């Protein structure tokens, strides 16, 4: 059962074709890897799914419904949340507030209940949810620290916590392992698995091959905006074209 389907996705910027006729399916409950050399168009795929870009051609189908062309916040409300490549947090808020933002973001604006303080119940539920997420991600000890004061590893964990607090069904993770040392990478791999085991489908863009091969159930390989190969990590590892692209292109 596929939760997300990318159908013949093409994205052009002016005359430049960043993505050319890409199709793949993401199975519900799996960790799906999206890999490829630099400039292959992985992040562009993400931005199309999350609604930051509109596809030039083709469509993106989520739970049987076409979602491409919608704005990011609408897609987020449907249950697709992305994390960012560079560490993107609300730097001047505390860890707790960051996650609270994630949990409150989807709820509607009600000016009068905000002024009169009638949304206590909702606020309380949101706060409990935040504590739960922080506990799950192991950030409870740091909840009153400012986001900008956290070490890199914890900042990444926080970014995922924010996404998690908005109760997504599908999480798009953009290079969560970039710049991490061995220990941090292992910790992040455990967390990613934990998130997946809690029932959330994950699409992962990543360069760290060890992490990708260890985590993903299925891989899609892109090269220069084209679909190069698909398969399980084992199949991809032995795929001639993929080896060629990585060895020939990057180094």
217: exposed, middle or buried (Cβ count in 10 Å: 0-12, 13-18, 19+): middle
Using the rule CB under 8 A, give the single segment among 102-110, 132-140, 177-185, 215-223 that binds another protein.
102-110
Q: How many CB atoms within 10 Å of residue 251?
A: 6
Q: Judged by CB under 8 A, does residue 152 bind another protein?
A: no
Residue span 51-80 as binding mask against another protein, x where in contact by CB under 8 A, dash where not: -x------------------xxxx-xx---
Tokens representing 225 are 């905006």
Q: Judged by CB under 8 A, does residue 150 bind another protein?
A: no
Q: What contacts 53, CB < 8 A, 6 or more positions away? A: 11, 44, 47
Residue nearer to another protein on the CB measure, 38 or 251: 38
Q: What contacts 182, CB < 8 A, 6 or more positions away? A: none
Q: How far is the CB of 102 from another protein (least distance, A)?
A: 5
Binder among 19, 26, 162, 191 for another protein (CB under 8 A) = 162
Q: How far is the CB of 155 from another protein (least distance, A)?
A: 12
Q: How far is the CB of 191 from another protein (least distance, A)?
A: 18
Size of the site for another protein (CB under 8 A): 41
Residue nearer to another protein on the CB measure, 71 or 181: 71
Kindly list the strands in the beta sheet with 218-223, ordered across the sheet, starting from the edge strand earlier in the chain.
80-82, 170-174, 201-205, 31-35, 218-223, 226-231
In terms of DSSP H, where are the helices of 16-148?
Answer: 42-49, 72-78, 95-104, 111-116, 120-137
Binder among 119, 132, 184, 230 for another protein (CB under 8 A) = 119
Q: How many CB atoms within 10 Å of residue 94?
A: 16
Beta bridge partners of 16: 13
Residue nearer to another protein on the CB measure, 2 or 94: 94
Q: Judged by CB under 8 A, does residue 132 bind another protein?
A: no
Tokens representing 11 are 């994205």
**Interface positions with another protein (CB under 8 A):** 13-14, 16, 50, 52, 71-74, 76-77, 81-84, 88-93, 97, 100-102, 104-107, 109, 111, 114-117, 119, 123, 162-163, 165-166
């Amino acid at each position: 059962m596929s939760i997300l389907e990318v159908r013949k996705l093409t994205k052009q910027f002016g005359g430049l074709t960043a993505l050319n006729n890409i199709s793949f399916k993401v199975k519900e409950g799996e960790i799906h890897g999206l890999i490829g050399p630099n400039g292959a168009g992985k992040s562009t795929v993400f931005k199309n799914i999350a609604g930051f870009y509109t596809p030039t051609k083709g469509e993106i189908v989520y739970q049987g419904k076409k979602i491409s062309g919608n704005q990011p916040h609408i897609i987020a409300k449907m249950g697709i949340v992305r994390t960012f490549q560079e560490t993107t947090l609300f730097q001047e808020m505390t860890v707790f507030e960051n996650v609270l933002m994630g949990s409150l973001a989807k709820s509607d604006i009600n000016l009068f209940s905000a002024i009169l303080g009638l949304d206590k119940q909702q606020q309380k539920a949101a706060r409990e949810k935040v504590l739960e997420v922080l506990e799950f991600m192991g950030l409870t000890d740091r909840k009153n620290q400012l986001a900008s004061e956290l070490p890199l590893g914890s900042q990444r964990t926080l970014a995922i916590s924010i996404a998690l607090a908005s109760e997504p069904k599908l999480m798009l993770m953009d290079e969560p392992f970039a710049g991490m040392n061995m220990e941090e990478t292992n910790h992040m791999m455990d967390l990613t698995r934990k998130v997946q085991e809690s029932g959330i489908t994950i699409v992962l863009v990543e360069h760290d091959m060890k992490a990708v091969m260890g985590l993903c159930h299925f891989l899609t390989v892109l090269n220069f905006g084209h679909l190069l190969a698909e398969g399980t990590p084992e199949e991809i590892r032995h795929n001639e074209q993929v080896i060629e692209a990585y060895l020939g292109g990057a180094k």
